[in-house]
Amino acid sequence: MVDIGRSMQEPTLLILTALADRPRHGYGLAQEILAISQGRVRLRTGTLYGSLERLQGEGLIEVFSEEVVQGRLRRTYTLTRTGRDTLAAEVRHITAHAREATRRLKQATIAPAGGPA
């Protein structure tokens, strides 16, 4: 399980998020991550598959199915219960940070240019 005492790296968060609603294969994951990040994050093939291997080793995802497509093995991945719980914990962590940042921004007074905030 990922240490939830620290923030999850963005690629991990995006992969787990992309798998939260349904199983996906590598190319489908890459496309979903691009959509979730509004085009900001494009995971390279090596990065994606290295991350999938690591997340599988950590017990956060597992192979849902395998099939041969045009002579190549296509694995479809899904979240495990641990992966779903880890993602939910990270969402709570991010939400708490966002809530505190919002509270502080609402309380902030604008200081003159060059002055203390």
Provide the 8-state DSSP code for 103: H
Mind listing the pLDDT tens digit of every residue in the chain (117 residues)? 444 456 789 999 999 999 999 999 999 999 999 999 999 999 999 999 999 999 999 999 999 999 998 999 999 999 999 999 999 999 999 999 999 999 898 887 665 565 555
Contacts 24+ apart (CB under 8 A), 37-45: 41/10, 41/11, 41/14, 43/11, 43/14
The structure's pTM equals 0.83
Distance from C-alpha of 77 to C-alpha of 94, rounded to nearest angstrom = 24
Backbone dihedral region for residue 107 (phi beyond 0: left; psi -120 to 50: alpha; all else: beta): alpha
Provide the 8-state DSSP code for 17: H
